[in-house]
Amino acid sequence: MEKILLLAATDTDGKLGKPALEAAGAARELAGALGGAKLVAGLFGAKVPSADALAGTGFEKALAVENSSLSQARYATDAAACEALVKASGATLVVAPAVSRLQRVAAGVAQRLGGRVDTHLTALSAEGGAPLVTRWYYRQRMSGQVKRAQRPWFLTVEPGTHAATAGSGPLAVEKIQVSLPESKTKVTGEKSPSSGTQTIRPDAEILFVAGAGWCKKQGDGQLHVAEAEKLILGFLDKTQSSLGGSKSVVDQTGEGAVLSFMSHLNQVGQTGSTPRHAKGLSTCCHGEEPHTVGWRFVGERRAVNLNANCGWAQGKADVLYVADAFKVMEKVNELLGG
């Protein structure tokens, strides 16, 4: 009989974030598909005051490593904590959110324990009583399913693919003592990307994509980049949407008229990211095939483009507004208030 461990780090407030609760949902689904495998949580962080968010959702108990050194994500200390949790649980399957902190240590801990790891999974199921996991390959173009005999098997689950568990009530937490390695690294502060504006928000409802059209000469023969920046930042501020960019617009960075807050981290598409948002609004962007790859997991797609024959019009957007994005976004911001 398989035993499943949900492995997750707590946030600075000691709570579990959305990706961890989604991974808990995936672990529950897997336990159900395996005919009721045992479910245990393994939590680590500077504070693990409770595991109540998982109570009443099928988890028997929670194991916890609580240590001030775990306030920062650091390979040596995180890996030691994870190793201890997996050992103490005796788990054969380890489910973790595919967030940078867990992704960084999953392979190393699997190696220490003689296990295997598969990452960025989008579905956990079972076939013939054995776990069967799904992930996408080749820039999200093909999906494949994997079975493995080796245990422990580490499975990191892509955020946004599963419903988060919503437990309440008490769940027993068993603290585990681990001597964490000494670290010479001290975190003295944080620096955000060039503009100082946090624009990439994986949890946002809406993905707003800006294309190169924002930095092109408009109908009056002039550039309106300062106005473009104001409109885009105004919309992001009011809606807390996540900002994406086409390859053309991010490649302009550092050359002439550019959006100062746009970086290569914002790029969406075949050679960029493939984010998951409920809705997407693309502006001043042609919407060619490589970009559409990046929109694969965006639910409702809308675009604003002057060209009625742009890529979005070729069946790639649910709604295409053939209009001037400067005027549309000005009106949208006005309607949003302020």
Ligand X SMILES: Cc1cc2nc3c(=O)[nH]c(=O)nc-3n(C[C@H](O)[C@H](O)[C@H](O)COP(=O)(O)OP(=O)(O)OC[C@H]3O[C@@H](n4cnc5c(N)ncnc54)[C@H](O)[C@@H]3O)c2cc1C
Shortest spacing between CB 134 and ligand X, in angstroms: 23
As to burial, measured by CB atoms within 10 angstroms (0-12 exposed, 13-18 middle, 19+ buried), residue 31 is buried
Q: Rule CB under 6 A: choose which of 267, 275, 292, 332 binds ligand X.
A: 267
Cβ proximity to ligand X: between 18 and 216 the closer is: 216
Quick one: which segment of 35-43, 96-104, 173-181, 303-311 binds ligand X (CB under 6 A)? 303-311
Q: Which residues pair with 145 in a beta bridge?
A: 134
Provide the sign of the torsion angle of the four alpha carbons 52, 53, 58, 61, taken in this order: negative
Q: Rule CB under 6 A: choose which of 290, 302, 313, 330 binds ligand X.
A: 290
- Judged by CB under 6 A, the chain residues 55 through 84 that form the site for ligand X are none
- Distant-in-sequence, close-in-space partners of 16: CB < 8 Å, separation ≥ 6: 8, 10, 24, 43, 51, 53, 54
Residue 304 interacting with ligand X (CB under 6 A): yes
Residue 320 interacting with ligand X (CB under 6 A): no
Cβ proximity to ligand X: between 26 and 249 the closer is: 249
Q: Determine the 3-state secondary structure of 157 from DSSP.
A: strand
Shortest spacing between CB 38 and ligand X, in angstroms: 42
Q: How many residues at the interface with ligand X, by CB under 6 A?
A: 29
- Distant-in-sequence, close-in-space partners of 243: CB < 8 Å, separation ≥ 6: 199, 200, 208, 209, 210, 232, 236, 261, 262, 266
Shortest spacing between CB 136 and ligand X, in angstroms: 15
Cβ proximity to ligand X: between 42 and 211 the closer is: 211
Q: Rule CB under 6 A: choose which of 168, 307, 309, 314 binds ligand X.
A: 307
Cβ proximity to ligand X: between 52 and 330 the closer is: 330
Cβ proximity to ligand X: between 124 and 320 the closer is: 320
Distance CA 98, CA 323 (A): 39
Residue 249 interacting with ligand X (CB under 6 A): yes
Residue 285 interacting with ligand X (CB under 6 A): yes
Quick one: which segment of 2-10, 49-57, 126-134, 298-306 binds ligand X (CB under 6 A)? 298-306
Distance CA 173, CA 250 (A): 47
Q: Rule CB under 6 A: choose which of 218, 239, 253, 274 binds ligand X.
A: 218
Query: Cis bond leading into 290, ω under 30°?
Result: no
Q: Rule CB under 6 A: choose which of 67, 165, 270, 333 binds ligand X.
A: 270
Residue 199 interacting with ligand X (CB under 6 A): no
**Can you list the positions of beta strands (E) in the chain?**
3-9, 38-45, 61-66, 93-97, 116-127, 130-137, 142-146, 153-157, 173-175, 206-210, 242-245, 279-283, 300-305, 319-322
Shortest spacing between CB 158 and ligand X, in angstroms: 18
Residue 292 interacting with ligand X (CB under 6 A): no
Residue 269 interacting with ligand X (CB under 6 A): yes
DSSP code for 13: T
Cβ proximity to ligand X: between 286 and 316 the closer is: 286
**Ramachandran sector of residue 254 (left: φ over 0; alpha: ψ -120 to 50; beta: rest):** left
Distance CA 1, CA 150 (A): 14
Residue 183 interacting with ligand X (CB under 6 A): no
Tokens representing 51?
């595991």
Q: Rule CB under 6 A: choose which of 24, 236, 288, 295 binds ligand X.
A: 288
Helices marked H in the chain — which ranges? Answer: 18-33, 75-89, 100-112, 225-239, 247-251, 289-294, 325-336
Q: Determine the 3-state secondary structure of 70 from DSSP.
A: helix
Shortest spacing between CB 331 and ligand X, in angstroms: 13
Residues contributing to the site for ligand X (CB under 6 A): 211-213, 216, 218, 246-249, 267, 269-272, 284-286, 288, 290-291, 294, 304-307, 310, 324-326
